[in-house]
Amino acid sequence: METAALDRASLGHAMHPAPGSEPVEWVIAEGLVEYPDAVAEMESRVAAISAGTARERVWLVEHPPLYTAGTSASAEDLLAPARFPVHTTGRGGQYTYHGPGQRVAYVMLDLGRRGRDVRRFVATLEDWVIKTLGHFNVTGERREDRVGVWVRRPDRGVDVEDKIAAIGIRVRRWVSFHGVSINLEPELSHFDGIVPCGIRGHGVTSLSDLGRIVAMPELDSVLRAEFEEHFGPTASA
């Protein structure tokens, strides 16, 4: 699901597991991961977490250039259907782009042991991303009428804002999957083939576009530290 038009800022921004829970597995994929392979892996892991036979997991990946269509995607928002592969997916939301230079974090957590509050979960994901961006002197903000994390662009005009991170999740039997994507240094022109998340009138940016030169391992390190603040301990798989 994606959420909008709710007071996410008023929700608490931590969802630690029950005492005695095992650390969340932290996995970083090597190379580019094909999207169907990622979905199959998530489906398998979510089923195992639900059955109690596997630990929770955060899986960091990069994809080759592609578009995904969430459950609320509108056909008119796919502007260049032949440009990249288009994958229909079960996560909430509309169209989004994934590609090299974008860090995708697939978050597979047992919300049954974390309060069973999906709105709080989404708010915590947002806060995780915002606090991560803050380490690189980027002020990310949430908007009640728009999903994702946004940055103000006064250099481009009054009230100009660009999206730097997207959030789209699905929950099955109280286990989450899909997750967040942060634009480190993707080719921003690739977003031109869609209306990202169905939101018109706003642009897309990245850490690189904002003048922040950050290596992917550095971003990953900060993501992990902030994840532990928000969701609890991790362990490398």
166 assigned to a ligand binding site? yes
Rounded distance, CA 28 to CA 158, Å?
39
Sign of CA dihedral 62, 66, 68, 73: positive
Please check if 179 is assigned to a binding site: yes
147: annotated binding-site residue?
A: no
Active-site hit among 109, 165, 197, 207: 197
Between CA 95 and CA 87 the distance in angstroms is 10
Q: What distances in angstroms separate CA 234 from CA 17, 26, 99, 163, 197, one per listed residue?
A: 11, 6, 26, 28, 30
Which DSSP category does 79 fall into?
S
**Is 167 annotated as contributing to ligand binding?**
yes
Strand 141-143, strand 102-108: pairing: unpaired
- For residues 197 and 159, give the distance between their C-alpha atoms in angstroms, rounded to a whole number: 19
50 marked ligand binding residue? no
201 in a known ligand binding site: no
Q: What is the helix (H) or strand (E) element at residue 135, kind and residue range?
A: none
168 is in an annotated binding site: yes
197 carries an active-site annotation: yes
Determine whether the annotation assigns residue 96 to a binding site.
yes
* The one-letter amino acid at 145: D
Q: Is 35 annotated as a binding residue?
A: no
The answer to the question of whether 53 is labelled as a binding residue is no
Residue 169, both tokens: 């999740």
Confirm or deny that 180 is annotated as ligand binding. Answer: yes
Identify the CA nearest to 181 among candidates 152, 207, 202.
Answer: 207
123-150 per-residue burial string, b: 16 or more CB within 10 A, e: under 16 = bbbbbbbbbbbebbebebebbeebbbbb
Q: Tokens in use for 106?
A: 């697939």
Tell me whether residue 143 is annotated as binding.
no
Binding residues, by number, are 91-98, 166-168, 179-181
- Going by the annotation, the residues of the binding site for substrate are 91-98, 166-168, 179-181
Q: What are the catalytic residues?
A: 197
